[in-house]
Amino acid sequence: MPDIVLATLNAKYIHSSFGLRYLLANLGPLQQRACIAEFQINQAPLEIVEAVLAHEPRLVGFGVYIWNVVETTAVLGMLRRLRPDIRIILGGPEVSFEWEGQPIVALADHVITGEADLKFAEVCGVLLGEDAEAVASLPKVIPAGLPSLERVALPYDLYTESDLAHRILYVEASRGCPFTCEFCLSSLDVPVRAFALDTFLQAMQGLLDRGALTFKFVDRTFNLHLPTSTAILRFFLERWREGMFLHFEMVPDRLPEQLRDLIRQFPPGAVQFEVGIQTFDEDTSKNISRRQNLTRLEDNLHFLREQTGIHVHADLIVGLPGEDVASFGRGFDRLVKMGPQEIQVGILKRLRGTPIVRHDAEYGMKYAPTPPYEILENRDIPFAEMQRMRRFARYWDLVANSGNFSATLGLLWQQGDSPFQCFLAFADSLYARLKRTHQIALPVLAQELFHHLTQVCGVPPDVAAATLMQDWNRVPGRESLRLGGAQSSDRAAGRHGTASSRQARHVTT
């Protein structure tokens, strides 16, 4: 039985815990005495406790994040009652800042703050050793500091065959961020530090040799260092095979010609760029210490959409200090014109440790006291309006980002000058009719779009039905749909199988 269990609760099965694999890879001689136990947040806490205790561990390390802290707290409460002798060590961003008074911290023996790749092994060595005085002298909160990446063992060999076949593989060529955006924890992680490129690419080759196809880079600024980003893109381009998919987070206003030449060569939909724009309002950008050249950003997005097959996922945030709904709407309209396949409308979260709290008094920032700590209201967006924007974000994800109704969206835009106002009107109408934002079946959503277009916007029923059917019939395997006098094709209704991925649905538009 292992002495050390490394555990976390992932949001979904498809996610794999990058942090746990780093900890295991860097345990040194203790690695043979440890194992990883991954769970999902929708599992019953009792089942998780049972699975952990089945290993009969002496130490349990839990990775704690904004999405799992509530469920992990429940698990730890039971572990404490059942086996108070087990040492519990916590780490992760949710317990690395403002840990005083957190219920989950009270249940732990030790908390390692910061990047614990090396510090965790050090603490485990003390706790499993025979020096009682050293064990007693360990503080509850142990700062890890920033480890030298030259000393950090890479974790990629710890991805199992099942991981490669069924889960997202997270990789990173660097850590840190040069920017100081006040809503983001990465603003605290300066400077940017890079892994040795040759060593990293050798590890990527190892994954490719084992059949890996999906690589999600977690680097905050993938395109910051041009020689590194070009080398990585060239590496994958030279080894490209059917079914591969790459995800990168990019600095939106930095896309020199060397990068453009490379990304033009990737197949449509095979590479996704996550572009963090957050706001187009210059005063709001100053409030949150965000620097970006909007002219270059706009040129880069037009290039990506017009000259490449890159799938662009662009982020905007509702609730930033100084931006009201009208300002957000203008930015949203501006972004729509640039044509990204997805616009992620996020609601501002007050992450522990981030300096955005300095605006609380001046801008009346009020956040939910429980995870994910979303903004409830501020000086410029009262609670009722913030609720409208939450519904806007949710419905936008279902209708637009899903890729299910691309042609229909174009028809909706024709009903006014502002895409934002047009979709907000639909969101208001949809909520008034359904009174819910979740558990909305796709046929119901299609019927509601038809109703809004014909009854609210005045679109002729035959035009609305034909456009919706165009979207519906693009994906095989869907059930039969009838709108007015139109019905989906037999081909679409009669085929079975898995629908195309989100990115693939956008490629077909």
Give pLDDT, residue 508.
Answer: 53
Asked if residue 483 has pLDDT above 90, the reply is no
Confidence of residue 485 (pLDDT cuts 50, 70, 90): low
H-run or E-run covering 124: helix 119-127
Side-chain-side CA neighbours of residue 250 (13 Å): 30
Kindly tell me if the per-residue pLDDT of 397 is higher than 90: yes
The CATH architecture annotation of domain 168-381 reads: Alpha-Beta Horseshoe (3.80)
Give the pLDDT band (50/70/90) at residue 474: confident
Q: Is the predicted pLDDT of residue 493 greater than 80, yes or no? A: no
Predicted local confidence at residue 312, as pLDDT? 97
Instruction: Please check the confidence at residue 365 and state whether its pLDDT lies above 70.
Output: yes
Q: Binning pLDDT at 50, 70 and 90, where does residue 112 land?
A: very high
CA distances from 495 to 163, 470, 480, 485 (A): 30, 16, 10, 22
Mean per-residue pLDDT for 158-173? 95
What's CA 370's distance to the chain center, in Å? Answer: 19
- The alpha carbon of 109 is separated from its chain's Cα centroid by a whole number of angstroms, namely 30
Residue 307 zone, left/alpha/beta (φ > 0; ψ -120 to 50; rest): alpha
State the chain's mean pLDDT as an integer. 93
How far is 506 from 477, CA to CA, in rounded Å?
A: 17
- What CA–CA distance (Å, rounded) separates 468 from 449? 8
pTM of the model: 0.92
Position 478 scores a pLDDT of 85
More confident of the two residues 145 and 447: 447
pLDDT over 70 (residue 190)? no
Which SS3 state, helix, strand or coil, does residue 366 take?
strand
> By three-state DSSP, how is residue 112 classified?
strand
Alpha carbons 4 and 24: distance in angstroms, whole number = 10
Render pLDDT for 206-261 as a digit per residue (tens, 0 to 9): 999 999 999 999 998 889 889 999 999 999 999 999 999 999 999 889 999 999 99
Q: Residue range 3-15: average pLDDT?
A: 96
Summarised one tens digit per residue, pLDDT across range 33-48 is: 999 999 999 999 999 9
**Is the N-terminal amide bond of 372 cis, ω within 30° of 0?**
yes
Span(s) in the chain for CATH 3.80.30.20: 168-381
CB 201 within 8 A of CB 231: yes
Q: Which two tokens stand for residue 76?
A: 């730890």
Mean pLDDT of 70-98: 97
In the chain, the percentage of residues whose pLDDT exceeds 70 is 95
Q: What is the pLDDT of residues 255-292, one digit of tens each?
A: 999 999 999 999 999 999 999 999 999 999 999 999 89
- In the three-class reduction of DSSP (H, G, I as helix; E, B as strand; rest coil), residue 333 is classed as helix
Residue 492 has pLDDT above 60, yes or no: no
Within the chain, all domains assigned CATH 3.40.50.280 are found at: 4-149
The rounded distance, in Å, linking the Cα atoms of 373 and 388 is: 18
Q: How far is CA 398 from the centre of its chain?
A: 16
Range of 54-58, 130-134, 491-495 with top mean pLDDT: 54-58
Structure tokens at 167: 């889960």
pLDDT at position 477: 79
Instruction: State how far the alpha carbon of 312 is from the alpha carbons of 190, 270, 291, 405, in Å.
Output: 27, 11, 20, 17
Pick the CATH number of 4-149 from 3.20.20.70, 3.40.50.300, 3.40.50.280, 3.90.1150.10: 3.40.50.280
Q: What is the pLDDT of residue 414?
A: 83
Is the pLDDT higher at 473 or at 396?
396
